[in-house]
Amino acid sequence: AEIEAAVMKESEMKKANYKDLAVPWVRRIVFLGIGIAVVQQITGVNSIMYYGTEILKNAGFETKAALIGNIANGVISVLATFVGIWLLGKVGRRPMLLTGLIGTTSALLLIGIFSNVLQGSAALPYVVLALTVTFLAFQQGAISPVTWLMLSEIFPLRVRGLGMGVTVFCLWIVNFFVGFSFPILLDAIGLSSTFYIFVGLGLLSIAFVKKFLPETKGLTLEQLEHNFRNYKSEKATSDAGAKISG
């Protein structure tokens, strides 16, 4: 009965178009959606997924060993996804995303540091492999599941098609630029400096999530829409209350 009621309601709804982006609260949701999508990609996840073998070769593995080692990246990605699905029912979206971003940024920072400190050492390829596996555990166990879930949660029914279309388009455009630029950067400035760039982007991602992203766990679509519609008035009320108490 609920499904039938939802289908009926949706069939009577006026479809959203790009003019709806002129509405401030809709624009804010789309901005947040694009932000979530961009954050998921600028961690550098697909540089490791696409070029994992090349990274391991650059660190010092022979081609055959790098190919075998890269299997670990795929295995941990699958296992971490199951952990992420389990965590989504128990942990808030914001803390889970922040934890994931702190974990991935730290792993990339350590790759950059050890690539300099252990350059030429027989231990370096194994350290890099361990850190790429750690990176993917945080990425696929926290960041990626939260990204796709939040994108489906924040958009009200009427603007969901438009919102998801715009944000997922932006996600794959950023993915293209990450995938395109990574081997160029690797060749031009080396492994360490390339990962330092992703560390900087990771810090920006943490700041964005901390400042702008609302918690969506436990809220219905109607409650989320109400919160987004009344964001400015509620923020003004809370700011006024803080001034009075101060």
- Domains of the chain in sequence order: 21-227 (1.20.1250.20)
Contact 15, 147 (CB under 8 A): no
pLDDT at 244: 47
The distance of Cα 234 from the centroid of its chain, to the nearest Å, equals 27
Q: Which residues contact 105 (CB under 8 A, 6 or more apart)?
A: 43, 198, 199, 202, 203, 205, 206
Contact 146, 96 (CB under 8 A): yes
pLDDT at 241: 46
Contact 211, 35 (CB under 8 A): no
Query: SS3 string of 87-121?
Result: HHCCCCHHHHHHHHHHHHHHHHHHHHHHHHHCCCC
Contact 135, 108 (CB under 8 A): yes
For the segment 190-219, what is each residue's pLDDT rounded down to a tens digit? 989 999 999 999 999 999 999 999 888 888
Nearest to 94 by CA among 201, 196, 229, 219: 219
Contact 103, 205 (CB under 8 A): no
pLDDT at 31: 92
Burial class, 180, CB count within 10 angstroms (exposed 0-12 / middle 13-18 / buried 19+): exposed
The amino acid present at 224, given as its one-letter code, is: L
230: DSSP letter:
T
pLDDT at 171: 95
pLDDT in tens, the chain (246 residues): 877 776 676 666 566 667 777 778 888 899 999 999 999 999 999 999 899 999 999 888 998 888 888 888 889 999 999 999 999 989 999 999 999 999 999 999 999 999 888 888 889 999 999 999 999 999 999 999 999 999 988 888 778 888 899 999 999 999 999 999 999 998 999 989 999 999 999 999 999 999 999 888 888 777 887 788 787 655 544 444 445 455
Contact 46, 171 (CB under 8 A): no
Structure tokens at 154: 């924040």
pLDDT at 25: 83
What are the φ and ψ backbone dihedral angles of 153, each rounded to 5 degrees? Answer: -90, -35
Sign of CA dihedral 145, 148, 150, 152: negative
